[in-house]
Structure formats: C-alpha cells, structure tokens
Amino acid sequence: MAEEHGSAPLSMPDYADVVDLGRYPICDLASPRGEALVARCRSELSELGACTLPGFCKPEAVEAMVALGLRLSDEAFVSDQVHTVYFLPPDPSVAGGDARAKLVRSAKRGIAYDRLPADAPMRRLYESDDMTRFVAAALDKPVLHRSADPLDALQITLFYEGDELGWHFDNSEFSVTVMYQPAEAGGDFDYVAGLRSADGENYAGVSRVLAGDLGRVRRLPAEPGMLALFRGRHALHRVTPIEGGTPRVNSVLTYGERPDMRLDDLTSMLFYGRVSPPP
C-alpha cells in the first residue's frame, strides 16, 4: 500500500496500471472519495444484491488478461456437467419439475491460479492488501483474507460457443468477478436476488424460475473492465449459453473470512481436474 500523508498517496501502488484509481481510490479508503465508493457498494448490494463498478480495470490491463487467457486456454480444465441448482444429487422423492430434482448444465474452461504468471495484471491486483481491504469494506466485513488455495484463489474462466452456467446458488456468501471480454452474443449474467433465505428455501419459487418464470430476473451489465460484487448464496443465478465465435472471459477473485480457506478435494477435481498440493 502506498504511504500516505493526509489523504494523498506519496507514491502510486504497484497495481496502478491495473485499476483506474482516479475513479476508484481503493488505496485511500479513508478519504472522502474512498468512503463514498464504499458507501455506494454497500448501498447497491443492499438494494440489488449486486454492485457493478464499470471501468474498474484499465483497458490495457483488460487486454493483457484476455491475451493471457487465450494463450493459456490449452491449459484450462474443461468441465461439462449436469447438476441441480444446489449442487446436490437429484431428490427422487419429489416431482421432476421441482428444483430439488431438475438438472441444469454447466460447461466452461477454468485456468487455475498456479498457471497465472506472477506479473499478470489481475494477479498483482489480487495479491495486494489494498484490494483485499476494499472488498472487505464494500461487503461490510471486519476483515477478509485471500484464499489459501493454490488453484482456486484467482482463476480465469473462458466460455466458448455453447458453454453456459446453469441456474444455481453459490455455497459461498459472495463472489467477486472482473469481466474482461463479453461474448459476441449470449453469456448474460441473470439473477434473482433473495429468492431463498436463511429462514427458508422457497422451493416453489425456485421451481417457478426454472420453469421459465423470469418476472423477477435482473441482468447484470457486462463490459470490459467491470468489477462485480455479488451475494450469491441466496440469489439464484446463471450465465446464459454463449453464441458466436468470441469467447466470454472473466476472472473470479476468491476471499473468505478464514485465512486457511481451500477447496475440498472433490470440488477441486470438479473445477480443475486435479487436487491442490497440501499446505
């Protein structure tokens, strides 16, 4: 983090080529502009279940991440599987249209953290304490930690024609993503905020969405360089099928409230086709 005198940094952080700090002063959260940024994020998350920050990453950094993702695409793990929205086996005791029984499809390519060079723009940003503090503040968390998982901490995800993420709920409370390249068509991020809660699963409401009732669905904007904070544990969401020859490219930045957070072996195999080495 840059040394500070009052609210003005004396030197620029080493990720200054990645983030538009003029618009998003994540290195100076105590300043009036930093406080306003955090307040905006919290307000949008409370009202909409998601917050989007367009132009968060600079065009040059975005172009570098797209080029890196395409260059490493042969090293990506290709997954194509069917699952329920809960990532649990289908419940044979309910009707086929019930959310607990209905299967959806997810197909994508994931490039693991250990494949990303140390000087990659998004890796440098992810590994900065400033970014970690900003995400924690935006989510109104006392403290967050970067993932300890050498595969899942930061990834690049590529979606080619026909790929998609079926409707699902996240196991984690929130997610942090950066969009590098939208698809030529399709690849839209749709969600229904607060469809379930800690007090109830609302299986009937979830089943209606799966049956095609899209009345409550919101669609996040998608443009290169946009950062999105999203509360996905209680929000049903999907990425619609990709159309055309331009792949959708983005990153997921993983944070948690424990410093030792790692994927279990089964999930690691599903996401990356391998198990991370022990710590």
Domain annotation covers residue 222: yes
- So what's the pLDDT on residue 8? 43
Position 8 in a domain: no
CATH number where 99 lies: 2.60.120.620
pLDDT in tens, 46-60: 999 999 999 999 999
Residue with the bigger pLDDT between 5 and 53: it is: 53
Distance CA 271, CA 77 (A): 7
pLDDT at 3: 41
Question: Has residue 2 been placed in a domain?
Answer: no
133 in any annotated domain: yes
Q: Work out the end-to-end distance of the chain between its first and last CA atoms, rounded to an integer number of angstroms.
A: 27
- Within a domain: 45: yes
Across residues 263-278, what is the average pLDDT?
Answer: 86
DSSP tag of 197: B
Residue 238 · residue 123 · CB < 8 Å:
no
- Evaluate whether residue 6 is within a structural domain: no
Location of structure tokens 């935006």: 138
Asked if residue 177 is part of any domain, the answer here is yes
* Range in 183-197, 223-237, 265-279 with the lowest mean pLDDT: 265-279
Check residue 7 and give its pLDDT. 45
Mean pLDDT of the chain: 94
Q: Is the pLDDT of residue 4 over 90?
A: no
Residue 223, both tokens: 């443009």
Number of domains in the chain: 1
The helix-helix angle for 129-138 and 32-48 (nearest 10°) equals 50
- 54 within domain boundaries: yes
Question: Could you tell me the pLDDT band of residue 163, with boundaries at 50, 70 and 90?
Answer: very high
Q: Coil, strand, or helix at residue 193? A: coil
With cut-offs at 50, 70 and 90, classify the pLDDT of residue 76: very high
How many angstroms separate the CA atoms of 248 and 187, rounded? 7
| pLDDT confidence of residue 277 | 81
pLDDT single digits (tens) 138-161: 999 999 999 999 999 999 999 999
Tell me the residue type at 143.
Answer: V
Question: Cβ distance 193 to 50 under 8 Å?
Answer: yes
2-9 long-range contacts, CB within 8 A, separation 24+: 2/27, 4/28, 7/31, 7/32
Residue range(s) defining the domain that contains residue 223 = 13-272
